[in-house]
Structure 1
Amino acid sequence: MVRILVIAGKDLQLLLRDPLGLFFILAFPAIMGIIFGAITGSSQTDQAILEIAVIDEDQSRLSTRFTSALVETGSIRIWNRDATLENERQASLDRVRRGRLTAVVILPRGFGETAGMPWASPVPIEVAIDPSRTAERGMLQGLLVEAAGSLVTARLEDPASRRALFASGRREIERNQKLPTVTRGLLVRLLDLLEREIEGELERASSSNPTAPSKSTFPVDLELARIEFVPIDRQGDRGLGANWHDKVRSRWDLSFPQGMLWGVLSCSAGFAISLVREQEQGTFLRLQVAPLSRFQILAGKAAACFVTVLFVILAMVLLGYALGMRPISPLLLALAAFSIAWSFVGIMLAMSVTGRTAESVNGAAWGSGVLMAMFGGGMVPLVFMPNFMQTLSLFSPVRWAVEALEGAIWRNYSVVEMLRPCGVLMGIGAIGFSVGILVLKRRTG
């Protein structure tokens, strides 16, 4: 028993002598708990804000009221509300396709003529949304229905719109020849009675409390909307009537980029651990004694990691192809794969010098990988993160890697648009190379 305690004490002493390993045992779980607490706490105190664009082609009083009702929900921020843009419709669609906006809501001409009329066939509200944002799609649809329902109340509050509403109802009843004459007459009289009752209720509410808003007279908003989801496309000549499944052929188009990144993170962590283990076991020293320069040794390690990352991406692409994934641009996908491999090889070299033992580097590599995935949207959708975490996600290579893969697989990025995520990845890789080589040079002399 004493020997067991001695061995246990020895292991505990070794752990205490490894500050980085101790950090990932004690401090890192606390950091993860704080981050998850920030995410869940924000969902309870602050609503998720959807940033969208609204294209008002109707320019009517009710279309303006609809836009205001969307903002009043507290869950929508309209990107172009106070902006005047050329070719606003296509510019907004391009921002959705590049992932800068959640959706574009288009109010067609004639929207205000039937909006808020329970018996009229409403003009469809066109919504172009990023197909990878399935959770936001349902949330936005509910907010649109809520805002459309408020237009019924808006018509009843305005005298002119109220009279037009009931006049339209009478005309619809009188034109319906399928109803018997007696039934049509009764329905018209019923509308007359309803109109007089609403007029009287509004007058009583106004006289009893003139300062109270008339909206309180109608406490329940009716939900009334017809929503059509339309595709996002770079070319304006195809129109919005095309099927967005031309871009996203299967669910694998959306899920495989994240899957590829977890494989890439595994490669990066594995090679970082193997590099420090070779230093511990003396293999790296024996290689230095051999007729090999330090650059050749590190270049060989980097080349092996680079090839492995490319193989992981290729294997995932082939598996996705078998399941129905069809990348739009194989050439841009190759560019994305090259940029990702370069970036994570640099990250591998930087992670390999975070500690002097395999255990500490293992904790650092996987810990930083989880953080990069978390902040980059690989674990929690960016829209549900607090604002400060969305800002920090710009520093996560996972975010840029996913964007590069999606741009080639289904977002239909142009070459110029691909330069942004690929350029960021190449820059991150160059920084990682520099840090890793400089620190390793100082350690090994």
Structure 2
Amino acid sequence: MFKLWISIKKDTRILLRDKVGISLMFVMPIILVVVVTSIQNSTFQLVNKNKLPIVISNTDTGKASKQFIESVGKIGMFTVTEIGKEKATAKAISDEMQGKDAMLGIVIPPNFSAEVNAKAKTASDKAMAAFSGEADTIKTVVKPVGQIDPLTLYYNPVLQESLRFSIQGAIRSALQLVQTRETLRTLYFASNEKELPKSLENEMLNSNTTINMLPVSKDGTRNTPNASQHNVPAWTIFAMFFVIMSLGGSVVREKVSGSFIRLKTLPTNYLVGLLSKQVTYLGVTLLQAVVIFSMGIWLFPYLGLPPLNLPSDLFALFLITLVCGWCAVSYAICVGVFAETQEQANGFGAVSIVILACIGGLMVPSFAMQGFAKTMAGFSPMHWCLQAYYSLFLEGGKLKDVLNNIGSLFIITLVIQFITYLGLKRKNLI
């Protein structure tokens, strides 16, 4: 035990001298979690606060196109700016979008209102023919009508595909509302020979079923997760694994300087040295988690970000953090054992951590992955760390809900430890 304690003191002093390593392990993750959380929080609030600017060129002169523009404005996602019909070309729309910092542009075709009215008249005639019992003669009574010319929607290429689908759905809803309103007016006039009252029209169009969206959690609560709940645990994991920049280099330096050979001449075992490194840097990973979680709880509200809400099962949170930190330390030592130079350890370590983060779900959600990528996610220790954290922070889970994730992470850690042992034997270091 005395040898272990002295070795831990030695590794702690070496760590405190590594100013760059400490910066990478603490300063970089802190900046990263603040920046990413701020960006994602802005994305979450896009629909409610930060509306997308859109320019619309209306080449139609009828009422339907004006109703469509009004409906787009009422969706709540867009800030609408109308431009002249002479700017309906692709080049003109592009210039207007750049000039007004608009992300979207729409061109309404010149026959939009006429086609909407014709389609509504056709639907009304079919309905009246069916009501009068002349269903067999509908085809002769009603003349076929062509499709409405499509709207042209221009978008800035920076918009992600998922957001473009949401925008397309919103525009389609506005278009459907215009067509439904015109069909109701035409049908009411055909049956009553008078205009549809405005109050009745609003009642019929606004009688949609309300949709309540509620998060499903394992503890029965209904707290809506925020950007902090998603990002703070994820980038805490990333920070833990980035101890490889200091620990991996430390192992390589001891090999290159001959410290391993000198230790073999002393009445001790190098496994004691490896154990001391694991204990020292495991303390570093726990400290990283404490610092980043504390920022999420107390600092984020002062930065205008949603605060981090800790899960109810704090013991499960500590256990997950402990196993995750141990896995990160084991991986860093493994890389340091096999690397021949410090540059190799740092280069391979940084790239491999980013790759593990990508396939582990830190940058792209695991549920969005398909095929080979989804299979590879199971081999990333970050995946099991993240799933365990999400189960606690987002789903309100308890210790029993994350035992599978902890077990998988523990097995991966043991495999890494075994590979490290084989590397030490192969290099005659133990």
TM, length-normalised to structure 2: 0.50
Question: 2:195 aligns to what?
Answer: 186
Matches within 5 A, 1:162-181: 170=188
Q: CA deviation at 1:230?
A: 1.7
Aligned partner of 2:426 in structure 1 is 442
Equivalent position of 1:355 in the other structure? 339
The equivalent of 1:396 in structure 2 is 380
Would the alpha carbon gap of residues 360 and 291 (structure 1) be closer, same or farther in structure 2, given more than 3 Å must change?
same
Tell which deviates more after alignment, 346-355 or 144-153. Answer: 144-153
What pairs with 1:393-432 in structure 2 (closer than 5 Å)? Answer: 393-432=377-416
CA distance in 1, matches of 2:410, 2:318: 14
Structure 1 350/236 Cα, relative in aligned 2: closer, same or farther at 3 Å? closer
* CA–CA separation in structure 2 for the residues paired with 1:259 and 1:292: 38
Structure 2: 5+ residue stretches without partners: 1-159, 301-306
Matches within 5 A, 1:281-296: 281-296=257-272
Q: Which residue of 2 aligns with 1:312?
A: 288
1:430 and 1:353 map into 2 onto residues whose CA distance is: 16
Q: Could you say if the C-alpha distance between residues 166 and 414 of structure 1 is closer, same or farther in structure 2, counting changes exceeding 3 Å? A: same
Shift, 1:321, TM fit: 1.3
CA–CA distance in 1 between the matches of 2:283 and 2:292? 14
> Percent of counterpart pairs with the same letter?
21
Q: Tell me if structure 2 keeps the 8 A contact 1:350–1:436.
A: yes
d(CA) in 2 for partners of 1:266, 1:424: 21
CA drift at 1:141: 4.9
Q: What secondary structure is seen at the aligned counterpart in 1 of 2:338? A: coil
Which position in structure 1 is the counterpart of 2:53?
Answer: none
The 1:140/1:342 distance shift into structure 2, 3 A limit, reads farther
Could you tell me which residue of structure 1 aligns to residue 233 of structure 2?
Answer: 257
CA distance in 1, matches of 2:320, 2:219: 26
Give the 3 Å change call, closer, same or farther, for CA 315–236 of structure 1 in structure 2. Answer: closer
5 Å-filtered alignment, 1:84-123, equals none
Alignment match, 1:52: none
In the alignment, structure 1 segments of 5+ residues that lack a partner are 1-134, 157-164, 175-183, 192-221
Cα gap change, 1:306 to 1:146, in 2 (>3 Å): same
Q: After the TM superposition, which residues 122-271 of structure 1 pair with which residues of structure 2 at under 5 Å, given as runs?
A: 138=163, 141=166, 170=188, 185-187=194-196, 228=211, 230-234=213-217, 242=222, 246-248=223-225, 250-271=226-247
Partner-residue secondary structure (3-state), 1:395? coil
Which AA in structure 2 matches 1:357?
T
**Take 2:315 and 2:363, find their aligned partners in 1: how far apart are those partners?**
28
Q: d(CA) in 2 for partners of 1:236 and 1:328?
A: 10
d(CA) in 1 for partners of 2:195, 2:391: 60
Q: Output aligned runs, 1:44-123, within 5 Å.
A: none
Deviations 1:380-433 (A, max 9, x none): 444665642232222111222122222222321232321122111111111111
SS, match of residue 437 in structure 1: helix
Question: How much has 1:284 moved relative to structure 2?
Answer: 2.4
Alignment-derived partner of residue 332 in structure 1: 316
Give the whole-Å Cα distance in 2 for the aligned partners of 1:155 and 1:404: 48
TM-score when scaled to structure 1? Answer: 0.49
Q: CA deviation at 1:235?
A: 5.6
1:404/1:136 CA distance change after superposition, 3 Å: farther
- CA distance, structure 2, for counterparts of residue 319 and residue 331 of structure 1: 20
Describe the shift of the 1:415–1:291 C-alpha distance in structure 2 as closer, same or farther (beyond 3 A).
same
Name 1:274's counterpart in structure 2.
Answer: 250
Computed over aligned residues only, the root mean square deviation of the Cα atoms, in angstroms, reads 4.1
Count of residues in correspondence between the two structures: 255
1:112 maps to what in 2?
A: none
Between the aligned partners of 1:308 and 1:414, the Cα distance in structure 2 is 25
Counterpart of 1:425, as a letter, is L
CA, structure 1 residues 409+236, in 2 after alignment: closer, same or farther (shift >3 Å)? closer
Q: What letter is aligned with 2:343?
A: E
